[in-house]
Each structure stands twice: as C-alpha cells, then as structure tokens.
C-alpha cells in the first residue's frame, strides 16, 4: 500500500507515494500530476489577485487539481485581516463551486475559521495542514467537522503526542510540507504513537484520503 502525503511543495515522482503538491497560480508547474492550487495569505498581491483567481478557476476544472490550497488566515503577518478574509472567502467559494476540498494554512485564527464555517456553511471537506496545537484546540476543530494533518511538528515536538493520540483514526492525514525529514519518518513516528504497524497506518490514511478526495 502507498504512502499518502497531504501537503508537499516539491513533486518527488516516487512511485510509492501519492502526494498533493502545493501550487501557486503565479508560478504554476504543468509537469506536476496531482496538486492543490491556492493563494497563501503570505503571498496575497492585490495587483494580480484577479489573474490569480482566474488561473485557479481554470485549474480547478481539471481532474488533476484535487483541492483549493493552501489558503487561509494568518494573524502573525502584516497583511490586513480584512484583505485576508476577502481572499479566503473567494477561495472558499471556488472550492464549493468545483466541489473540491480546502487545504488550509491557519495561524492564530481558529475562532475566525469556525465563525466563517458557521456563517458560510462550508460543505466541502476542510483540512488544516501542519497542525501543532493542543488536544483542546484539536477537539474544537474536530467538533466543527475539520480534518487535521500532521507533519514536522510530530517529529519536532514530543508534546504533540497527546494531541495526536486524541485524534480519531478517520480524521487525520500526514504530510511533509517543506521539511528535510522524509514522509516515511513522519509515518514511523505516527505509527509509534498510535502503537500500530506502518502498514495499518497506511491503510487508515488511505481510507481518509479517499473519503476527502
């Protein structure tokens, strides 16, 4: 059974891995076979916003484009929250229109996401990538129907074990993002924490992946 990687920034062409490669509209790589496309809050540029959204529309119509993302909200950057919310809502609308999941970058804006979810009644699956918070925050997000993806922080922060163990087996995914460590190392740590074999873990993640995508 294959490994599944929810969020990567480089296509590895590894036959043992199904990976969702993050793409940006302004630097799109046609050679990537399976990808998400989105406007990251760090990279919002009002001068090209209309063009970026148009490219996203074109790509989302294609079967190889699996998701909208990464997009989201980040309270620790200088981009005004009003603008971040406007761009995020436009991308949520695209995800709903094309019936594709959302892969989110979210920093210190969990309440805002939950409020948006309630106001917009988001129907598509929502995955928060690179999750690193405590079990209480995780429960709040799970209660609102979101999925959580774990990567580098699982390897770097032993305290995240408690959060990961609190996760139902059908609500998490695994990823590499931009880390030097391999996807196999992330899976090995997750399997160790869950006290299961890597093959059993791969089967669980595969099922969740197929539910979302």
Structure tokens at 97: 């229109």
Q: Give the Cα-Cα-Cα angle 70, 137, 190 (nearest 5 degrees).
A: 70
- Whole-angstrom distance, CA of residue 71 vs CA of residue 113: 12
- Is 129 marked within a binding site? yes
In DSSP terms, 51 is beta-bridged to none
Q: What DSSP element (H or E) covers 149?
A: strand 147-150
40 is in an annotated binding site: no
Angle at 104 (CA atoms; ends 99, 105), nearest 5 degrees: 160
Q: Read off φ and ψ for residue 203, nearest 5 degrees.
A: -65, -40
Read off the tokens for 13.
Answer: 């062409």
Binding-site residues, in ranges, read: 70, 105, 129, 177
Annotated binding site for a divalent metal cation: 70, 105, 129, 177
């Amino acid at each position: 059974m294959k490994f599944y990687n929810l969020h990567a920034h480089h296509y590895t062409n590894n036959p043992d891995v199904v990976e969702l490669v993050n793409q940006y509209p302004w630097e799109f790589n046609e050679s990537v076979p399976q990808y998400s496309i989105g406007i990251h809050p760090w990279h919002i540029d009002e001068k090209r916003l209309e063009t970026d959204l148009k490219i996203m529309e074109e790509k989302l119509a294609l079967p190889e484009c699996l998701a909208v993302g990464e997009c989201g909200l980040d309270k620790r950057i200088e981009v005004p929250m009003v603008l971040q919310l406007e761009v995020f809502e436009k991308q949520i609308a695209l995800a709903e229109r094309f019936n594709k999941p959302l892969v989110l970058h979210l920093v210190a804006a969990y309440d805002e996401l939950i409020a948006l979810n309630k106001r917009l009644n988001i129907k598509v699956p929502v995955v928060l990538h690179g999750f690193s918070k405590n079990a209480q925050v995780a429960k709040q997000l799970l209660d609102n129907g979101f999925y959580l993806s774990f990567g580098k922080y699982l390897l770097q922060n032993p305290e995240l074990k408690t959060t990961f163990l609190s996760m139902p087996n059908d609500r998490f995914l695994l990823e590499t993002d931009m880390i030097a460590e391999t996807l196999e190392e992330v899976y090995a740590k997750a399997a160790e924490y869950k006290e299961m074999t890597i093959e059993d873990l791969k089967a669980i993640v595969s099922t969740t992946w197929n539910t979302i995508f």
